[in-house]
A and B are shown apart, each in its own frame.
Chain A
């Protein structure tokens, strides 16, 4: 218990939960890539997930728990950190000594949380309440609706691109910081771990942006 509430314990909780959230993004992207193979493949994938719904529900609750662990600890750390450093320097040259993304994790994290809430309230909720047997619109059609909150809508797509870029910005610091917190030195033995950080802050966000733009430019329609 003492471990969980210590400074390093809280850091470790943020790190482990953050890495699980990163792994979730891999599965999310792999699912979304089926969009490129046409409506039949995408709908079949969603139907498959529907068929194993109890398992998906357990995973969703697990993910929610991980998200709360990540955010809860991050907020606690930030409050403590502000209390430990109540007076700012008159002249700050922080850019010379640390990166902007490392200093703005709470801001980028808050924007990401707002994005997750909006994303779930439109797409995830629509999928939960949708019954394809009583409706001509498929899961594929819902995603591509030209309405606010869905990816056929121009301004929503722009918002998604910005939000995904902020996720990349957050993970640029977050992933390698989590490795440091878990005690992995950036030496030759662990170098591959630091190299795969690029997958999370580079390739995965890029993949999501490509999907959003492909919908906008009619490659996925």
Chain B
């Protein structure tokens, strides 16, 4: 199939970006979105043109490195799918696709479609960790945990930190990300050491990183490739109230 791509090109964080149009032929239904971009990049390199820069790593939907907005949808039109796991069978022959980077003040464009997500690292540094005893790893079943808590912690822990929640939010709020991290640790005995400080410190880091404020529109939940529930934000609010 043939597709028309309008891709955001920006040579550096300081420069002004623009949309460039590309016509891509010989796209097969089984190709992933990134394989299609790889094919386009090969052509650009052969023409001595600068290839399109985009973030990617595992291409299995588990690392959280990739992130593109395709036709206004973070990670493309499918629910619960990362951009790297999106296949071209989702699109029709002759379709025009607009591809943009995450748009948020806290996620500066590095080049083209790649953005700087260090703001998330700053939030994690503020409280996204647990204190553990050094030494040998304890036996996996040594610490009893209620099934409900283990399940909930696991659901929150599936957050891959890709930033789609921020990208989808009209306020560029990072509360789904922070909520998922806070809730994951709050559910587990290992997370109790820093429990009372964690929420305060992580919210403070989130606010100072310049993310917007959540207005419960639910766009984050709808666009999250790991389908993290907005109930993580509700629990974040509850934890914040509890420890103030």
| Residues of A bordering B, CB below 8 Å | 3, 6-8, 10-12, 77, 80-81, 83-94, 96-99, 102-103, 105, 173, 176-177, 180-186
Contacts and interface: CB of A to CB of B under 8 A. Distances in A.
B109 to A, nearest CB: 9
25 contacts: A7-B212, A11-B215, A77-B171, A81-B172, A84-B105, A84-B172, A84-B210, A85-B212, A90-B19, A93-B72, A94-B170, A97-B73, A97-B222, A98-B218, A99-B218, A102-B216, A176-B216, A177-B215, A177-B216, A180-B230, A180-B234, A181-B237, A183-B235, A183-B238, A185-B235
Contacts of A185: 231, 234-235
A184 B211 contact: no
Interface string B225-243: 0000011011111111100
Contacts of A186: 231
B32 interface: no
Contacts of A83: 105, 210, 212
Interface residues of B, number: 47
B162 interface: no
Interface in B126-170: 168-170
| Among B71, B169, B213, B217: residue with most chain A CB under 10 A | B213
B236 A8 contact: yes
A170 to B, nearest CB: 12
Contacts of A77: 171, 213, 215
Nearest to B96: A91
B59 interface: no
